[in-house]
Amino acid sequence: MRYSIIRDIIIISVSIIIAIFIVKTDFINWVLFTYRLPPFLLALLAGIFYASIFTAPLSIAAIIALAQDGFLISTVIFGGIGAALGDLLIFKFLKLGIAKNIVIFLKQKKVFHIQQKRILRIFPICAGLFIIASPLPDEIGIFFLGTSKIKEGYFVILAYFLNAVGIYLVGLSVL
């Protein structure tokens, strides 16, 4: 277990370094505007980046630009798909790695005895959905959902809907 926690910390650290590089070098904006991608593809890419706290500012800038250019509806549809895909990648990563290790650790420490009550078993799902719908980082909400027993298909549908609403509100704020 200790090796996998160290591995997870290394993966997260490398991800942070890559995200800082992408933000500092303005790489995403260069790719998006140099190749003149069609608006739906720009929205899909913006949606994928909308799912992570590290790339959300770039994504929001692209969503605002697309909304101002009159592509709000296609941005909501394809941005929601991209965000759901990004959330699914994070969900799978957490479900297979970090969340599983934390659950094992907490079970060893007898923290999960309070989950015997039914109402407390749905708390991680409700908290996760609320956080994904809010401006808070999706990773926190996905972590809560990763520790629950929510099925992947339900997660994708909920992630799409919640992210599409968030993208719509971002785009609507500039119109």
Examine the pLDDT at 115 and tell me if it is beyond 60.
no
Q: Rounded to whole angstroms, how far apart are CA atoms 152 and 171? A: 28
First-last CA distance in the chain: 50
**Other residues' Cβ atoms within 10 Å of the Cβ of residue 170:** 22
Q: Rounded to whole angstroms, how far apart are CA atoms 134 and 106? A: 27
**DSSP state letters, the chain:** -HHHHHHHHHHHHHHHHHHHHHHHHTHHHHHHHHTT--HHHHHHHHHHHHTSTTTHHHHHHHHHHHHHTT-HHHHHHHHHHHHHHHHHHHHHHIIIIIHHHHHHHHHHTTGGGGGGSHHHHSHHHHHHHHHHHSSS-HHHHHHHHHHTT--HHHHHHHHHHHHHHHHHHHHHTT-
Q: Average pLDDT of 99-109?
A: 60
Q: What pLDDT score was predicted for residue 52?
A: 79
Q: Rounded to whole angstroms, how far apart are CA atoms 144 and 157? A: 16
Examine the pLDDT at 116 and tell me if it is beyond 80.
no
Domain boundaries defined on the chain: 2-166
pTM above 0.85, yes or no: no
Q: What pLDDT score was predicted for residue 76?
A: 96
Give the pLDDT band (50/70/90) at residue 135: low
Q: What pLDDT score was predicted for residue 65?
A: 80
Examine the pLDDT at 157 and tell me if it is beyond 90.
yes
Examine the pLDDT at 147 and tell me if it is beyond 90.
no
